[in-house]
Structure 1
């Protein structure tokens, strides 16, 4: 069975967005995410700022951590894309396995292409390679 994966999310806002507004949006997003088959969605503690964000940006507030099986991630990303598209001038920055993606002002088609590329298997993981060493095939025939 696959292990849970943690995905870091930061709700981002326009220049006038304050911490209170971002936290309210994050709570709304959390409620929607909990409707999916995720294991947990909680507020991110520690105030970590995502790569590329300026220290003065209002992205520190509104941080969430989603814990789910990898098979649920496409569903999580679909929800994020829908959620962002219904909130103009808002976005969500997502970090997974040291990589990040910003879901913001792209068109729905562009956003879906970005999500598909982000979730596609990475070239550094060989197709058919076992995830669990205990399940690896024997070395000889």
Structure 2
């Protein structure tokens, strides 16, 4: 039963030598990886700021930003995929925003990052924060 959808905004932050084209390419790679999770939709985010001269409003894509629409039960999997994907890319971090709540992935050890994801998800929804049956929890 679909109890609604969650909209996650992902904002990729490149390393100091990452240019806009590379950031856009990395965003497209992450989009393809997220679509494999069977989320409802992943779109390139639109900039909320004024468009550059000559561009029509709503045409400007925010470089390295995605909007993921998914059922709440997949939020944890989305965050885990982003965390794993990020570790093998020339990015500093990915900031994830859901309904005004944010988490920054990429600035902690794998174990600390897992704890942060668990805490973030469980504060958002007790149902979504509960590990799925058969999913082992490593040492606390």
Q: What is the TM-score with the length of structure 2 in the denominator? A: 0.74
| Bigger proportion of residues as strand | 2
Q: Find the counterpart in structure 1 of residue 111 from structure 2.
A: 109
CA-CA distance at 1:89 after TM superposition: 4.3
Q: Find the counterpart in structure 2 of residue 34 from structure 1.
A: 35
CA-CA distance at 1:108 after TM superposition: 0.5
Evaluate the alpha carbon distance shift between residue 71 and residue 115 of structure 1 in structure 2; reply closer, same or farther with a 3 A threshold.
same
Q: What is the TM-score with the length of structure 1 in the denominator? A: 0.73
CA-CA distance at 1:105 after TM superposition: 2.8
8 Å contact kept, 2:14–2:90: no
Further displaced range: 80-89 or 20-29:
80-89
Segments of 4+ moved more than 4 angstroms? none
Q: Find the counterpart in structure 2 of residue 25 from structure 1.
A: 26
Q: Which has the larger radius of gyration?
A: 1
Q: Find the counterpart in structure 1 of residue 72 from structure 2.
A: 70
User: In the comparison of the two structures, how many residue pairs are matched?
Assistant: 114
**Alpha-carbon distance between aligned partners in 1 of 2:6 and 2:91, rounded to the nearest angstrom:** 29
8 Å contact kept, 1:43–1:64: yes
Structure 1 gap segments, 5+ residues each: 49-59, 129-141
After TM superposition, list the pairs within 5 Å mapping 1:1-141 onto structure 2: 1-47=2-48, 61-122=63-124
Structure 2 gap segments, 5+ residues each: 50-61, 128-140
CA-CA distance at 1:121 after TM superposition: 3.0
